[in-house]
Structure 1
Amino acid sequence: MTDEEVVRIMHAHFEGLFPRGCPTCGRYFANLRDYILDTELIGDTISYDVELCDWEPEEPLGAAAFANCPCGTTMVLTTRGIPVAQLHGVLRWVRDETGRRGVGHTELIGAVRDEVRRRALGSGEKLGIVPLPAGGPAPAAAAPEA
């Protein structure tokens, strides 16, 4: 799986979680862009399967990203609903790429989150995921973008 495939999977999934509303104040988020603009991100995205080093869980625990609504209610977006086989591919990518790039899983998952957020905001510019460190292994050839 490539960086681009991981970002596309995550972006499509999180876009599909909308519209939704805040359970406390009823604030309406029409799409992921509105949610990003109108909430305040809290901490790092947590992948419970990665934390357990479970790269092919039969019943994935998934990942969660928390944000506060302007009313103060903490809301969460999760990976629940991503097909298990697809999620396994993403988890293997995290395992393989953290080693290859010499970064921690929190940093790599955060970079995916940041790229999904950039795309949802419509920047149009694909900035990519955490680069390889200087002097690190050569990157794998990327597939041409469609």
Structure 2
Amino acid sequence: MNENEIIEKVLKDIDKLFPKKCSCCGVVFENFLDFIEKTDIPVHAFDANFMVMHLHNVYDILALRNCKCKTTIALPCAIDPEFKKEIVLFLENEAKKLNIPTEKMAGLLRDKIIKIARDRSE
């Protein structure tokens, strides 16, 4: 799977998660772009907030964002377990090609996903 295919599938999967509500303050995010516009990247996780969690070969790929009330909201970026593995392999392979940490590659992919979502809304 190439980068464009991954981005398209991530955006499609993310669309299924909305509307989403902050569990603390109750603000409702109508769609992914609304979520991006009304939240911030946590300061402590600016470079690595697109996380790949691996526990006993079960991958969970999360984007972390802070609501205006400062609650951190985890947004799963892949629903299908096989797709999660494909993203992990893509990130590892691309990071190796570019000689950068996998976390940095995840951040670059995150930024592209957000840019495409914004571009499509205009």
Instruction: Give TM class, smaller chain.
Output: 0.7 to 0.9
Question: Matches of residues 1-146 of structure 1 in structure 2 within 5 Å?
Answer: 1-42=1-42, 43=45, 44=48, 45-49=50-54, 57=57, 60-79=58-77, 82-121=79-118, 123-124=119-120
Q: Which has the larger radius of gyration?
A: 1
Distance 1:89 1:74 in 2: 26
Percentage identity across paired residues of the two chains: 23
Give 2:38's aligned amino acid. D
Q: How many residues align?
A: 115
TM-superposed deviation, 1:79 = 3.7
Structure 2 unaligned regions, length at least 5: none
Give 2:61's aligned amino acid. A
TM-score normalized by structure 2?
0.83
In structure 2, the CA distance between the partners of 1:87 and 1:61, relative to structure 1 (3 Å rule), is closer
Q: 1 or 2, which has the higher strand percentage?
A: 2
Q: 1 or 2, which has the higher helix percentage?
A: 2
Structure 1 unaligned regions, length at least 5: 125-146
TM-superposed deviation, 1:85 = 2.0
Aligned-residue Cα RMSD (Å) equals 1.8
Distance 1:67 1:85 in 2: 25
TM-score normalized by structure 1?
0.70
